[in-house]
C-alpha cells in the first residue's frame, strides 16, 4: 500500500518569510498525483496545489510552489511571503493514477508569527 509521510508535526514561520513543509511517499506506480491540502481551524479542507507525476515542471500557485523529486519520492511545499491566513494544518496527499485510491499524510501544523 502507498504511504505518505510528513515528518514535521509542527512548523512556525515569521510573517512575510518563507517556509518549506516536507513530504515523502512510497509507491510502486509510475503515474500518480500529489496534492497539498490546507485545513484551517474549524474550517473546510481546501486544495492548495496539485502535481501530476508525469510532469517534470514543478507546480506553482501564486505564493505556493512545490519541489517534486520523483526519484527521491519527495514532494515539499514552499510558502513564500507567509501571511497570517496561512496558519492551518497542511496535509500532503497521494492519489493513484486510476483515481480510486487516496492517501493523506498525518499533517503539519503551521503557525505564522506576526
Partner 1 sequence: ETGVTQSPTHLIKTRGQQVTLRCSSQSGHNTVSWYQQALGQGPQFIFQYYREEENGRGNFPPRFSGLQFPNYSSELNVNALELDDSALYLCASSRGGGIRYEQYFGPGTRLTVT
Residues contributing to the site for partner 1 (CB under 8 A): 1, 4, 6, 33, 43-47, 50, 91, 93, 95, 97-107
Q: Which three cell numbers stand for residue 38?
A: 490546507
State in angstroms the smallest separation of the CB of 100 from partner 1: 3
Closer residue to partner 1 (CB): 42 or 114: 42
Nearest-angstrom CA–CA distance, 102 and 64? 22
Nearest-angstrom CA–CA distance, 42 and 88? 10
State in angstroms the smallest separation of the CB of 114 from partner 1: 26
Closer residue to partner 1 (CB): 50 or 78: 50
Give buried/exposed letters for 18-55 (b at 16+ CB in 10 A, else e).
ebebbbbbebeeeebbbbbbbeeeeeeeeebbebebee
State in angstroms the smallest separation of the CB of 111 from partner 1: 16
Beta-carbon count within 10 A of 17 CB: 13
Closer residue to partner 1 (CB): 41 or 114: 41
Closer residue to partner 1 (CB): 55 or 81: 55
State in angstroms the smallest separation of the CB of 16 from partner 1: 28
Amino acid at each position: 500500500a502507498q504511504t505518505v509521510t510528513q515528518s514535521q508535526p509542527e512548523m512556525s514561520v515569521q510573517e512575510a518569510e518563507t517556509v518549506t513543509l516536507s513530504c515523502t511517499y512510497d509507491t510502486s506506480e509510475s503515474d500518480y498525483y500529489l496534492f497539498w491540502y490546507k485545513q484551517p481551524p474549524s474550517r473546510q479542507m481546501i486544495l492548495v496545489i496539485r502535481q501530476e507525476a508525469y510532469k517534470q515542471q514543478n507546480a506553482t500557485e501564486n505564493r505556493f510552489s512545490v519541489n517534486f523529486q520523483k526519484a527521491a519520492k519527495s514532494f515539499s511545499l514552499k510558502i513564500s511571503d507567509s501571511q497570517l491566513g496561512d496558519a492551518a494544518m497542511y496535509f500532503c496527499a497521494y492519489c493513484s493514477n486510476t483515481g480510486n485510491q487516496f492517501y493523506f499524510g498525518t499533517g503539519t501544523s503551521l503557525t505564522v508569527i506576526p
